[in-house]
Structure 1
Amino acid sequence: MFDSLSQKAPQPGLEHDFGGSFARCFQPTNFRTTLQSYRERKSKSRPPASRPCIMVDVIRTIALTCLLSSICLGASNEKRPSYPSYDYEIARAHEIKPHRRTIPLKGVSPGFNQLRLTLTVSPMGDVVDAGAGGDREALKFWPQLQDEVRQWKFTPFEENGQAVTAEVEEYIDLVPPERLPMIHVAAPILRPTSKVAITLSRTGCFGSCPSYTVTVGTDGIVFAGGGYVVASGKHTDRVDANQLRNLAKRFVTADFYSMDSSYTASVTDNPAYTLSIVIDGHEKKVEDYVGSWVGMPAVITELENAVDTFAHTERWIDGSDGLVEALRGENFNFQSFEAQLMLKEAASRGSTETVRKLLKVGVPLEPLPAPKPDRPYVTSQLESVGWLNAASSHPEALQVLINAGASKNDQSDKDLALAGAARSGNVGTARALMDYGANPNADLSARAVTKGGGGIKTQRTGAGSVLIDAAESGNPEMVREILRYNPELEARDGQGRTAVFAAGEYRDGDKDGARVECLHLLAEAGADVNARDNEGNTPLHETFLTDVEEELLKLGADVNARNKDGETPIFTTVDDDAIPLFIEHGADLTIRNNKGETVMEAAKEKGPLREEAFRKAIQKLNQR
């Protein structure tokens, strides 16, 4: 049903080159991508599971004749090795430059053209195997790129201090050939005394793209932070005028004054960038809205990134080294509400050293009131979030805050931070929080829990119990740790789902067999594998992980349980591998849903691939 990555939207969380390293353009994870990612990984790292022969003793309709038989799906004799896997965010921190991530090629059409790469990287950091997924148009360019990708180098990936062979996720964006200037426009002469001002503006997007404007001029640097930055508002720093003129020379050399005034792609929800330079009163401005998709010369992106590098904007955006020193240089008030927001933002990004420095210069941990309406400031999603909750996904930053006594008397913050640590699967962090007083049996159903993904922080009703968050992490040790405290096994989230449902979810980077182990631990503790959510679904209705489906059936899941739409798991599954599995375990194909459809009739609405999956499953049964 889902061939490759055919969705025409940016890959979830991908740092697009059309925005440089500072454009963390996030699109909410869509189900299609999640399922495809799981399928690709399953096909590479895990052999087909061996399934026992089970007699199917259910009378079928005439249209499904010859289904009274047994089925046995044998395991493959060839077992491919399974390696630790790393997503693109981790992989890119290991890249040894240069890796081209946006590649112009003749024949590429304007628009979204992306290859999802799965690389096998040796302990020495060499690419020893490379595969690509994508739509047909993108995949036809893969042969031209394989040799280049195989030359990529990484610093070694390590497990327990040892370099290991790793499976790595990467992406390449394919773009049309560059649209170079047709008419040359002479740039102003750059003199040793020239007044120069270069401005870069980046807007927000449908996600967590940082929005800010930075101007580097011969009289200094001015940074104006908007959303999704650590240091919002106006901040300044000094500049070396001669070095700035050297940067301006790059604009002149790149023929920036001859470039088109706008490179705009027909796409929505992405950040827009504006780059301008003024040399002795002569201005040139270029607007870049996913410009690489329409042939914008790559040098413009290089200049955008050069401005960020020159101004060290990462200190204000991410809270990296140099932030506190720059704030001191502008006489910033560290005993202010804005300073507290900076501390939370830095903690939420895991900028541990900046957290230490902000505490050292006196940012107070007792909550301060927000500015009055007549005093403008940039609001933050973390305003109402506690110190510990903000840092819950980053063990080192969290420990610094605990050591400083943050939220010592705030039980709610401790409990919500524990939920965050459980969700991230970090057992050490969870233990540290429980030692600090967090309650593993806290009822979170009425509390606003802060969740993050791709840099976005959202608040929503809690999962109901820390156990649900632990199961969602997919880390058996995390589940085992929370089970030690005898939690309520059937606690439910806002959708009525229990920890068993959460154990059947999927995250890119899950270790093979980990979710099955989580499920087994929950069932062994007495959790109900046939629990119902608010729509009447059981965990077998909801999961699309084949190994989890198998384990649920072994544990007694009802293959013919009907939800409020009258549908059994074979109706709702999106895992084609589950169809023969469910049939072999007694799925009744004669059951009709509330629309009066059998599963075969309902399959027609889900497309030809679903129909084909049923046809093959039935054909195999008829041949036995």
Structure 2
Amino acid sequence: MKKWGWLLIAGLLALSMAAKGDLMNIFGSKPYADAFFEGDMLNIAKAIKKKDGEVITKLGKAIEDIDAPGKHGMTLLGFAVNDENPVAIKALMALGADPSIELPELGSVAYHAMWRKSDEPLEALLESGMDPNLRDEEDTLIFNTPLLEESDAMKLLVEYGADVNARDSLGNTPVLHLVSTAFDEVLYLLDHGADADVMTDSGVSLAYSIQLDLEDMDQSTEAYQKMLKIQQKLVEKGVKFPALTPFGERFRNNIVFCQEPHGYMPKAECKVEGVNEYLREQTEQEKRLDEKILKERFGIEHRF
């Protein structure tokens, strides 16, 4: 019985994975309208495939919920984005379709638009009034764009007013989030208003992140040269090196680890202070460096 039980479980898991794969294939392609919709919504989906904005508007006004999900959780706006269809996207947005609705396995309609092969779906959403700072539980769209060499999504978001200094759930801005992996994107954001003198809630500054990365990188690589370029960009914007460690930044900015509310924050905002049990000890070398920087750069005398 145990043998047959395990075979049954294995079979069910295989079916589940296959179903998930089929679903991803459906979303990743440009399927027929009846793969997702029926009834009145199917008629609108057919008009979407024909790029007939007038029919989409006429039929869309007659249905109760323009964002009602069809099969597999697909919405009409998601279907139009999947079809890379600006005419349909603009017609549906004019009817009040919501680009923040989540599509199974794909994130929001807006997120899906950023990752299509064409930039037209995202541009159509933005032209139709979509908020470029659309946020989910963790962050805004600009944290998740494809690389600049692959897409103009980041440029479009910035052009339409995306906040290049937005914070994610961990207190990162886009440049803090991207600095170790997406060098061209960080340079672009710094050239378009990103704060160079920025740090996380816990006191990890952009300058400190760059400093650490440069210490660990192979100097013969292109990545090292690009990181040097980012460092130079910060210097041009008035950022000083060497950077304070997070210990030094927390002291300078009176940041504490708080039990209530939970996390790092200014002491004035903390109700109950706590201790971060996962925090390593500050090294003697870090102490002396922070003391020197605090005194010479900020006129602060302190002994760690």
**TM-score, with structure 2 as normaliser:** 0.52
Matched, 1:521 2:156: yes
| Aligned CA distance change for structure 1 residues 228 and 440 (closer, same or farther; 3 Å) | farther
Tell me which of 445, 451, 466 is aligned to 2:105: 451
Q: After superposition, where does 1:382-421 map in structure 2 within 5 Å?
A: 391-396=26-31, 398-401=32-35, 404-405=38-39, 411-413=67-69, 416-417=74-75
Tell me which of 441, 453, 460 is aligned to 2:98: 441
CA contact 1:529–1:556 (8 Å) conserved in 2: yes
Q: Which residue of 2 aligns with 1:533?
A: 168
Q: After superposition, where does 1:471-486 map in structure 2 within 5 Å?
A: 471-473=114-116, 475-486=118-129
Structure 1 residue 346, shift from structure 2 partner: 8.8
Give the count of matched residue pairs.
209
CA contact 1:392–1:418 (8 Å) conserved in 2: no
Separation of aligned partners in 2, 1:440 and 1:589: 48
Q: Which runs of 5+ in 2 are unaligned?
A: 43-62, 214-222, 251-279, 284-304
CA contact 1:530–1:539 (8 Å) conserved in 2: yes
Structure 1 residue 531, shift from structure 2 partner: 1.6
Structure 1 residue 400, shift from structure 2 partner: 3.1
Separation of aligned partners in 2, 1:570 and 1:420: 40
Matched, 1:582 2:230: yes
Larger helix proportion of the pair: 2
What's the CA shift string for 1:243-296, capped at 9, x where partnerless?
Answer: xxxxxxxxxxxxxxxxxxxxxxxxxxxxxxxxxxxxxxxxxxxxxxxxxxxxxx
The structure number with the bigger radius of gyration is: 1
Separation of aligned partners in 2, 1:416 and 1:595: 48
CA contact 1:468–1:498 (8 Å) conserved in 2: no
Q: After superposition, where does 1:142-221 map in structure 2 within 5 Å?
A: 211-212=10-11
CA contact 2:86–2:120 (8 Å) conserved in 1: no
> Partner of 1:553: helix, strand, or coil?
helix
> Partner of 1:451: helix, strand, or coil?
coil
Q: Which residue of 2 aligns with 1:594?
A: 246
| Aligned CA distance change for structure 1 residues 482 and 560 (closer, same or farther; 3 Å) | same
CA contact 2:166–2:173 (8 Å) conserved in 1: yes
Separation of aligned partners in 2, 1:440 and 1:229: 34
| Aligned CA distance change for structure 1 residues 405 and 346 (closer, same or farther; 3 Å) | farther
Separation of aligned partners in 2, 1:552 and 1:433: 28
Separation of aligned partners in 1, 2:22 and 2:96: 22
**TM-score, with structure 1 as normaliser:** 0.28
CA contact 1:529–1:539 (8 Å) conserved in 2: yes
Structure 1 residue 418, shift from structure 2 partner: 5.9
Q: After superposition, where does 1:6-17 map in structure 2 within 5 Å?
A: none
Q: Which residue of 2 aligns with 1:565?
A: 202
> Partner of 1:550: helix, strand, or coil?
helix
Separation of aligned partners in 2, 1:546 and 1:431: 35
CA contact 1:418–1:430 (8 Å) conserved in 2: no
What's the CA shift string for 1:86-129, capped at 9, x where partnerless?
Answer: xxxxxxxxxxxxxxxxxxxxxxxxxxxxxxxxxxxxxxxxxxxx
What's the CA shift string for 1:545-596, capped at 9, x where partnerless?
Answer: 2221221121121222111021222444666454312221124324324323
Separation of aligned partners in 2, 1:523 and 1:404: 38
Q: Which runs of 5+ in 1 are unaligned?
A: 1-200, 205-209, 213-225, 231-316, 319-343, 351-390, 453-461, 507-511, 606-624
| Aligned CA distance change for structure 1 residues 498 and 539 (closer, same or farther; 3 Å) | same
Matched, 1:500 2:286: no
Larger strand proportion of the pair: 1
Separation of aligned partners in 2, 1:419 and 1:596: 49
